[in-house]
Amino acid sequence: MAKYWLAGHVKTRLAQAIGAEPAALIHREFTLFLCESLSQTDANRFLCLDPISRKRDVNCELDSRNLTGKWNLEEQADGDLGDRMSKWFDNHLRPPPDSTEYSVLIGCDSPLINSTHIESAYQGLCQADVVLGPARDGGYYLLGIRSTVSQEARALLFSNMQWSTHTVLSETRKRLRENGLTWHELSEHEDIDTIFDLRRLLKHVEDSRLSDPLNLNTARKTLLAKRIQSIVKRCPSDAKAILYDCC
């Protein structure tokens, strides 16, 4: 799921430190970088876009990254985040006995997710009803659900949730327990929402580059960091100081 990278409408907490335009460009980079990283995943891939009126613009960006035909663009449903996620799973999971399917949904705030994480999610769904990717801020960066989970049970995971709070993950676990659903959790990742999150991301990439420079994933991370750094050049000097005093 992704919002179009319109300045002032995305990464608003990051924008408070580095400005609306650079923050929007970083959101754009996160989105396209994830599309690159996941383009070879053995699954049907959907980019659920808000607003869908930007479909042509996004397709042009995907073409520029050699991703033509790799992603199916579709519209997000109306409502809050829970409504939109619930509707997405309703549209993409067919109930048994026709098939047993697995659908995995991510956002664009954890740009280092790769095909290995998606494969781990599918492996988890072979044994559990739900897979969660815990985020450091108390939410989750990934949610996977089996088609054997009823529409009513799925809806309970999304309704009346206080989104964008540190209680989302714990409340989700509670609802899974209360409804007798099993779940598997992946490794923790960090959503990049603030300048301090971005600083930690750049520090993590630098540490990876120094410790394991020949690793393919390290090379991909380094590419992301270089793209971010080219954007940060447009930021105010005080924002750049916060970002780079540890890098």
Structure pTM?
0.92
- Sorted by sequence, the CB contacts under 8 Å of residue 187 that are 6+ apart come out as 133
Q: How confident is the model at residue 241 (pLDDT cuts 50, 70, 90)?
A: low
Q: Which residue has the tokens 């509670």?
A: 174
Between 201 and 99, where is the model more confident? 201
**pLDDT at residue 212, rounded to an integer:** 80
The β-bridge partners of 183 are: 130
Angle between helices 55-64 and 20-37 (to 10 degrees): 60
Q: How far apart are CA 23 and CA 183, in angstroms?
A: 34
One DSSP character per residue, 6-63 reads -TTTS-HHHHHHH-HHHHHHHHHHHHHHHHHHTTT-SS--EEEEESGGGHHHHHHHHH
User: For 103-155, how does the pLDDT look when each residue is reduced to its tens digit (9 = 90+)?
Assistant: 999 999 999 999 999 999 999 999 999 999 999 999 999 999 999 999 999 99
What is the set of domains in the chain, with CATH numbers?
A: 78-192 (3.90.550.10)
Q: How far apart are CA 35 and CA 146, in angstroms?
A: 23
Q: Is the peptide bond before 236 cis (omega within 30 degrees of 0)?
A: no
Virtual torsion, Cα 71, 85, 53, 6, nearest 10 deg: -100
Q: What is the average pLDDT across 229-246?
A: 69
Between 62 and 230, where is the model more confident? 62
User: For 27-66, how does the pLDDT look when each residue is reduced to its tens digit (9 = 90+)?
Assistant: 999 999 999 999 988 889 999 999 999 999 999 999 999 9
What letter represents residue 64's amino acid? Answer: S
**pLDDT at residue 101, rounded to an integer:** 86
Is residue 99 scored above 90 in pLDDT? no
User: For 168-220, how does the pLDDT look when each residue is reduced to its tens digit (9 = 90+)?
Assistant: 999 999 999 999 999 999 999 999 999 999 999 999 998 988 888 778 788 99
- Sorted by sequence, the CB contacts under 8 Å of residue 111 that are 6+ apart come out as 29, 30, 33, 34, 192, 201, 224
**pLDDT at residue 247, rounded to an integer:** 45
Our measurement of the distance from residue 29's CA atom to the centroid of its chain's CA atoms, rounded to an integer in Å, reads 12
